[in-house]
A and B are shown apart, each in its own frame.
Chain A
C-alpha cells in the first residue's frame, strides 16, 4: 500500500513536469484558436462529421464484452440520427485515472473527453489540462448550439461546470435526484412483527430487536467501514460533510459532539445487543448482498434503484419476502435523516480545443435531450425493442441477461446526457417501476444531507490520506478507527471530545482555517436536496 502511494506521488511529480511542458507548448497556439472559432460560427456544416470520444466503460457488461463498440447497432443508429461518424475509445473502469494521465501525457487527446461530473473527480491531469487550455470554454457555443441542453440542465448544475476562471468547460449529465441511497426494510417481517414503519431512532431499534427475536440473522446489515451503513450518522446529521457553524464558518458536521456521541452510542447499542453482526468490520459488499438476497437481513441501506432487481432475487429463495424503501430514521429534531447527497452531475464532457467542428459536437449532445432521442434511448430501435400502435409504445420488457445488459447500456451508458438517476419512461412501463418513481418523488426527495463542497478541494490533508474524509463513504480512517473502537467498547463514547482535540492537533485546526479561507474566496458549492 505504502509503495503504491509512493508510486502515485512519483507519478504526480512526473505529470507536473509534463504538464509544464504542455503549457509551454500550448500557449503559442492560443492566438490562432480565437480566429478559427470566428470562422466556425458563421456556418455549421451539413456534412457528415467525424469525431472521437473517450468514455469510461463504467463496468457495463455490454460495453466490456463488445468486440467493437463502434459497430454496435445502437451506436450506428445514433450516427444515422445525427449524421456523424463517432469513434468511441473506451477507458477501462478501473485504472481510469491512470489511463487519463497517460492520455494527457501522450498528447493524443480525443475530440471529446468524458469526466466524472466534477473537474477534480477525474484525476489531477484533467484539471491541469483545463488550466493549460486543452479544452474549449463552452459558454458561447452552448448559447448558440445547445438550446435543448440549456433547457434540460438546471442552472445550478451548469454552475458546477465552471472552472476557476469562471467559464463553463464541460457539458454535464444530470443526476435529477441526488438522494440516491435509501433505507430498506423487509416489509413482510415488519408486518409479521405487527410494527409500524419506524420514524425515530428509538422506534428503529425496537423494530431491529423484534427482528432479532424472530430469528433474523442480521437485523441490520452493516458493512466494512460502515460504508452504506451510515443510517444513524445520517439520523443525527453528523456525516462527514461541511456545514456552517454559528459564526458562519464551514466546519465538518462531526464537530457537533453531542449528536456524534448519540450516533456512536446507537451503533454501540446495536453491537452490544447483536443487532448488527459481531464481525461487521470484515463484511464485504458481496457478503452483504448475499445476506440480504438470501433473506437473512432485516434492514439495510442501498441505492434506491436496486429495489426491484433485489426483490426479484430475494423472492426466488424466499417467496414471501418483500423489500420496501422507507423514510430514513430521524434522531434529532429538525434534521432530515438519510444519506449523503450526491453531486448533481454524474458524468461530464469536455471538448478538445483543437477539434474542427465543436458546434456539431454540441449539437450532437444537444440532440440527446430531444424528444426523438429520449424515445430512442428509452425504448431502443422500433421493430426490435418495441412496437408502436397508434402512437402507443409497446415495450418488450428485458428478461434475459443479454437483454437487461443491453437496456442498461442504452439507457445508462450510451445516453450521454440523459438523466443518470433513472430512466423515467422505462420505469413508467411497469407497476413496480411506477412505485419506485413514486418513492423517489415522495420519500427520497424529502431526505438526505447536503453540505458545502470545495472546488478545487482543500489540500490540507494531501499526503495524509488517513485524515481525509471520504464523503459518502464515511469518516476519515483516523476518525473511523476511533468510532469503531467506541462501538466495540475498546474506548468510551464520551471520549469523542478528546478525539476531536487530537484531530485538531493532527492538522484539523489547519483544515478549519483553510476551509474558512476558501469559503471566503467563494470557491465552493452546496449540494442540496432535489
Chain B
C-alpha cells in the first residue's frame, strides 16, 4: 500500500496528525486529571498539586463513595433503566422500523411523517408533564423510559438499515411459512446486529445520563438515578455562597470525593464501549454506501 506522497499531501497528513492528537488530548487530559484527583489525598488537592498523576496516592475517596448506601441505590436504578430501558427501546424501535422499511406496507408515508414531526417539534415540558401525570407515571421509573421509547433519529437509522436487507430474503422466508413477527426476530434482527449495537449504545448512554426527566418526573429520592446523585454531590460543594445561609456550614463533599463520584458514575458506561466496538465501527458507517 506504500506509495509516494506529494509535499502537499505530507503537510496535510502531518497537520491532521497534530490536529487530531491535540483534539484527543483535549478530551483525554481532563479525564486523566479527574482520575488523578480522585486518587489523591485531600491535602494535596487543596494545595493544588495534582495534575495528571495522583499525589499521595490513596483510595480513601473511593472507599467513601462506595460505602454510601444512597450512591449504590442510585447506581442500581441507573443500571436498571439503562439495561431494561435500552431493551425496550430496541424492541419498540425495531417493531416500528420493520414495517415502515418494507414497500408492501401502504400507510407508511403517513407514519413516517408523524415520526418526522416529533423530530422537528419537541414537546414542551409542562404538557409532557401533564401527560405523564395523567398516565400515572409520576414517581415511577416508567416516566424515564416510556416517553422516549422510540427516538425519531434512531428510528430512521434502523429503518435505512432494514431497507438494505434484500426483499428476496424476506420473500423466501414468507414462502417457507414464517410469519411477520418470525421474520423480524429470526431473519431481520440477527442480520442487524451492527445496527442494534450502535443504537443500543445511543439509547444506553442516553439512559445512563438521564438527569432532567428524573428531576422533573420523580419526587421520591429513592428512585433518583446516579446522575442526579452526582449533581447533588457537586452542588453541595458550590454551596459556599448560594442562597442557603447556615450557621454551621454543612460539610461539603471535598473535591477528591466528587472526582471519585464522577469516575464511579462514568466508568460503567465507558466499559461497555470496548465490548460493542466491533459492531460499532460497522454500525456507524451505516447508510454511507448505497448499492
Contacts and interface: CB of A to CB of B under 8 A. Distances in A.
B241 A404 contact: no
Contact of A404 (B70, B243, B248): B248
Given A11-B124, A59-B232, A412 B247 contact: yes
B241 A65 contact: no
B237 to A, nearest CB: 7
Contact of B240 (A92, A99, A285, A294): A285
A37 to B, nearest CB: 30
Nearest to B242: A59
Nearest to A102: B129
Which residue of A64, A306, A422, A427 has the most chain B CB atoms within 10 A of its CB atom? A64
Nearest to B71: A65
A293 B47 CA distance: 8
B43 A316 contact: yes
Contacts of B176: none
Interface string A468-490: 00000000000000000000000
A180 interface: yes
Nearest to B255: A286
Interface stretch (B101-109, B142-150, B214-222): B214-222
B48 A420 contact: no
B291 interface: no
A309 B246 contact: no
9 contacts: A58-B244, A59-B235, A61-B250, A64-B221, A90-B219, A294-B46, A303-B241, A421-B245, A422-B247
B250 A60 contact: yes
Nearest to A94: B235
A60 B236 CA distance: 7
A111 interface: no
A286 B245 contact: no
B247 A14 contact: no
B236 A67 contact: no
A290 B125 CA distance: 38
A426 B243 contact: no
Given A61-B251, A105-B129, 4 more contacts: A10-B124, A59-B236, A106-B130, A108-B133
Interface residues of B, number: 45
Contacts of B69: 67
Interface of A: 7, 10-11, 14-15, 18, 58-62, 64-69, 89-90, 92-95, 98-99, 101-102, 105-106, 108, 116, 175, 180, 227-228, 285-286, 289-290, 293-294, 302-303, 305-306, 309, 313, 316-317, 346, 398, 401, 404-405, 407-409, 411-413, 420-423, 426-427
Contacts of B45: 290
Specify the main secondary structure of chain A where it touches its partner: helix
Nearest to B43: A317
B73 interface: yes
Given A59-B239, A106-B129, A317-B47, A67 B70 contact: yes
A302 B240 contact: yes
Which residue of B48, B242, B243 has the most chain A CB atoms within 10 A of its CB atom? B243
> Top 5 A-B pairs ranked by shortest CB distance?
A412-B246, A408-B250, A423-B247, A58-B244, A401-B251
A408 B248 contact: yes
B126 A405 contact: no
Contacts of B219: 89-90
B253 A61 contact: yes
Contacts of B238: 285-286
A67 B124 contact: no
Contacts of A59: 232, 235-236, 239, 242, 244
B127 interface: yes
A11 B125 contact: yes
Contacts of B252: 61
A420 B130 CA distance: 36
Contacts of A409: 250
A426 to B, nearest CB: 6
A116 B250 CA distance: 19
A294 B47 contact: yes
A99 B216 contact: yes
B248 A411 contact: yes
B221 A305 contact: no
A102 B125 contact: yes
B266 to A, nearest CB: 20
A427 B243 contact: no
A223 to B, nearest CB: 9
A313 B254 CA distance: 11
Interface string B210-231: 0010011001011000001001
Contacts of A302: 240-241
Nearest to A284: B238
Given A11-B125, A106-B129, A289 B244 contact: no
A90 B219 CA distance: 7
A376 B252 CA distance: 24
Interface in B231-280: 231-232, 235-253, 255
B236 A305 contact: no
B133 A106 contact: yes
B124 A405 contact: no
A306 B221 CA distance: 29
Contact of B125 (A98, A227, A313, A346): A98
Contacts of A407: 248
A95 B215 CA distance: 8
A529 to B, nearest CB: 17
Contacts of A286: 237-238, 255
Interface in B87-106: none
Given A67-B70, A401-B251, A412-B244, A90 B221 contact: yes
A277 B241 CA distance: 21
A14 B246 CA distance: 36
Contact of A412 (B70, B216, B232, B245): B245
A346 B249 CA distance: 16
B126 A408 contact: no
B196 to A, nearest CB: 32
Nearest to A101: B126
Contacts of A106: 129-130, 133
Contacts of B243: 58, 116, 346
Nearest to B220: A68
A427 B247 contact: yes
Contacts of A101: 125-126
Contacts of B130: 105-106
Contacts of B251: 61, 401, 404-405, 408
Given A286-B238, A290-B48, A317-B47, A92 B215 contact: yes
A158 B228 CA distance: 36
A294 B248 contact: no
B221 A67 contact: yes
Which residue of B228, B231, B253 has the most chain A CB atoms within 10 A of its CB atom? B231
Interface string B60-86: 000000001110010000000000000
Contacts of A175: 245
Contacts of A412: 244-248, 250
